[in-house]
Structure 1
Amino acid sequence: MVLMDYKCPNCGGAINFDTSSQRMKCPFCDTEFDMDTLKDYDNILKEDGDGEINWSAPKGKWADGEQDGLNVYVCKSCGGEIVGDDTMGATSCPYCDNPVVMSGKWEKGLRPDLVIPFKFDKKQAKLKFSEYLKGKFLLPKVFKSENHIEEIKGLYVPFWLYDADTDSRIRYDARSVRTWSDSNYSYTETSYYSVTRAGKLGFKAVPADASAKMDDVLMQSIEPYDLREAVDFQTAYLAGFLADKYDVNADEQKDIVNKRINQSVSEIFRNTVRGYSSVSVEQSTINIDNKLTRYALYPVWVLTTRWRDKAYIFAMNGQTGKFVGDLPVDKSLRTALFVGISVVTATILFLILYFVA
């Protein structure tokens, strides 16, 4: 062990052996360390390292004849591939609201492992959307049209679900500050600690949207789904609904899933470090072992509205009824409302002044 290579755990400066105190001392912050403490710290540093990530691949396969009766509809505007059954007539794209045409049988791709059936029918979805619009006076009229609301569609959105085990170790720089004073001076004492947390956590069904056309933030906003109500996939569940084909592979969502798992592990570990004035992460090693990746279809009621050459997508969780979406403001209505309020205010002010005078 080369002691001259040590850095001060407090300030990061190079520490040297001080002959007068017979201890290691930092010339920058004057902190002193005994040999046993440095040996323990050296052992801690040796355990640090970069996290490892292992990934599995989904394996769903179609049985012979299982895809009979399922057709692929392709949107010529956005390129979306929508799956429907033989009974479906002309329809429109749930993403851009343009007409779609049938192009062939559903043959390519993996077979879904799970599906969460719809719990809200179209009537209930329309009611939820109407309630969502209540009180929004500056909304363009097209959004409130009954004929438009009738176009809401039940869509099974593809998701990848990741089961993963983590083996993690996070080291924190923690400090405790104590202050006091007497009749002559005020004192501040700062104590420095190296705090380590390590452990294993398991994650089940971490979701990631498998559709490039569906906004990830929108899909995360209507979470969570209760996977306890998921059932083994059968094509019968698609009857009367649309289904989007996945066009984002499972390994393409690794960064998103890694970020969600890392954030969860970091929050859980951090919540166990208490009693200090300040805490900061000094080193983090989070190993992720993705044991299982499954392909699932989640129920979503979708309504797309085009206004002034822009598409607005509204989504409702088909299992829980949670509704999200961005709404535009009609500037002409806002101007008219502002003018109306101004006229009323001016009239009231005139009447007050008239009668007072």
Structure 2
Amino acid sequence: MSALQEYKCPCCGGAIAFDSGTQKMKCPFCDTEFEVETLEAYAGEQASGREDEMNWETAAGGAWQEGEAEGLRTYVCQSCGGEIVGDENTAAASCPFCGNPVVMTGQFSGALKPDYIIPFKMDKKAAKEALQKHYGGKRLLPKVFRDQNHIDEIKGIYVPFWLFDAEAEANIRYKATSVRTWSDSSYQYKETSYYLVTRGGEIGFERVPVDGSSKMPDDLMESIEPFLFSDAVDFKTAYLAGYLADKYDVDEEQSIERANARIKQSTEKAFADTVRNYTSVVPEAGSVKLRGGKAAYALYPVWMLNTTWNGKNYTFAMNGQTGKLVGDLPVDKGAARKWTLGLTALCSAAAYGIIWLLHLARIL
């Protein structure tokens, strides 16, 4: 004998049953009524859930041609383990990630050849100016840090990125409500209507970037986006002259999880933006399926700036193409306390003023 179908109320989630008086399905908890056909269609939609399907063709990068990488050298940081690539004339005295000394270890070998590179557009002077601008308007930045700060190290470095292309097909179901209120001389009324909203379609993605360096936090690299691929050119070792290049240690396969997360998040947001004119919208279920997923390997330009203050190292990253700079700054604890006390006093004064006005209104 097959199990009986149990229906849940779409509004409150309670068990729902057929009401012989109304000839409808009625929830005993919230008293909401449904046509039998409507509830069966809703239950069928819930049961037809799909799972994500995100597969990729992994064949990014290419092999170095004979003699092409002869002028490249590798440098290894003895502190953080970072492996950096430069040309034979590059002076790499310190690590661009942690500021500690690096050691030249010899001829470059092993990594895939990049497909593309975006050459540096911003020079070292622009990086210094961007950092000074970053200090501007920071009320809680210690004055000594701003006035006496010196930059320990500025390094231009090409960061490895995997660029993912794909067509995403999505099917997403939402639970939406529409609330209507009105009143008469005796009562106030509130009517809540519930809707099952579905969205399905396709959206294309080109060159979704995921950095291939474990030493570069994903959120830091994503904070200096976007990189404009219109400036990208086919990779040539000549572009590395005078700069460093981070040797990737997170390969294409390992980067897929981050690419999937970025693509899924963007897809869900794009579809959610089309569900309008409701009081509330909550996603219930959905799936994303990728087609034609493939990746390319590129080097993107980043300036790394390191400075030390009160024994702590502060690192800033600047997009070497657009000039966008991010990085944490120290906080003047004394100024922060004064700011907090001043804000508290202002709120207290405002509250006192409101109380005094209300008291005055009662007198009048």
User: Which TM-score band (shorter chain)?
Assistant: 0.7 to 0.9
Alignment of 1:266-305 (within 5 A): 266-289=268-291, 291-305=293-307
Matched, 1:40 2:44: no
* Overall identity of the aligned pairs, in %: 54
SS of corresponding position for 2:128: helix
Match for residue 244 of structure 1 among 243, 246, 250: 246
Cα distance in 2 between the residues matched to 1:74 and 1:297: 19
Question: Structure 1 residue 90: deviation in Å?
Answer: 4.8
Q: Which residue in 1 is equivalent to 2:237? A: 235
TM-score (norm 2): 0.83
Cα distance in 1 between the residues matched to 2:312 and 2:72: 31
Q: Which residue in 2 is equivalent to 1:50? A: 51
**Which residue type is aligned with residue 38 of structure 1?**
L
**Which residue type is aligned with residue 112 of structure 1?**
P
Query: Please, what is the CA RMSD of the aligned residues?
Result: 2.5
Q: Which residue in 2 is equivalent to 1:100? A: 102
1:159–1:207 contact (8 Å) kept in structure 2:
yes
Match for residue 149 of structure 2 among 122, 144, 164: 144
Cα distance in 2 between the residues matched to 1:179 and 1:141: 55
Q: Which residue in 1 is equivalent to 2:358? A: none
Question: Structure 1 residue 159: deviation in Å?
Answer: 1.2
1:75–1:99 contact (8 Å) kept in structure 2:
yes
Alignment of 1:179-190 (within 5 A): 179-190=181-192
Q: Which residue in 2 is equivalent to 1:11? A: 12
Q: Which residue in 2 is equivalent to 1:323? A: 325
Cα distance in 2 between the residues matched to 1:297 and 1:90: 19
Q: Which residue in 2 is equivalent to 1:348? A: none
Alignment of 1:110-189 (within 5 A): 110-133=112-135, 138-140=143-145, 144-145=149-150, 148=151, 151-189=153-191
Q: Which residue in 2 is equivalent to 1:351? A: none
Matched, 1:218 2:223: no
Cα distance in 1 between the residues matched to 2:134 and 2:188: 59
Matched, 1:193 2:195: yes
Runs of at least 4 residues off by over 6 Å: none
Distance 1:258 1:142, change over 3 A: farther
Matched, 1:255 2:260: no
Question: Structure 1 residue 100: deviation in Å?
Answer: 1.4
**Which residue type is aligned with residue 175 of structure 1?**
T
Question: Structure 1 residue 2: deviation in Å?
Answer: 7.4
TM-score (norm 1): 0.84
Distance 1:184 1:326, change over 3 A: closer
How big is each residue's C-alpha offset from its partner over 1:23-62, in whole Å with a ceiling of 9 and x where there is no partner? 2222222222223213422442243222222123243222
Q: Which runs of 5+ in 1 are unaligned?
A: 339-357
Cα distance in 1 between the residues matched to 2:43 and 2:6: 11
Question: Structure 1 residue 308: deviation in Å?
Answer: 4.4
Cα distance in 2 between the residues matched to 1:127 and 1:291: 40
Question: Structure 1 residue 249: deviation in Å?
Answer: 2.0
Cα distance in 2 between the residues matched to 1:141 and 1:38: 65
2:162–2:252 contact (8 Å) kept in structure 1:
yes
Distance 1:268 1:143, change over 3 A: farther
**Which residue type is aligned with residue 99 of structure 1?**
P
How big is each residue's C-alpha offset from its partner over 1:280-317, in whole Å with a ceiling of 9 and x where there is no partner? 11212222346111111110111122444432211111
SS of corresponding position for 1:179: strand
Q: Which runs of 5+ in 2 are unaligned?
A: 339-364
1:138–1:329 contact (8 Å) kept in structure 2:
no
SS of corresponding position for 1:4: coil
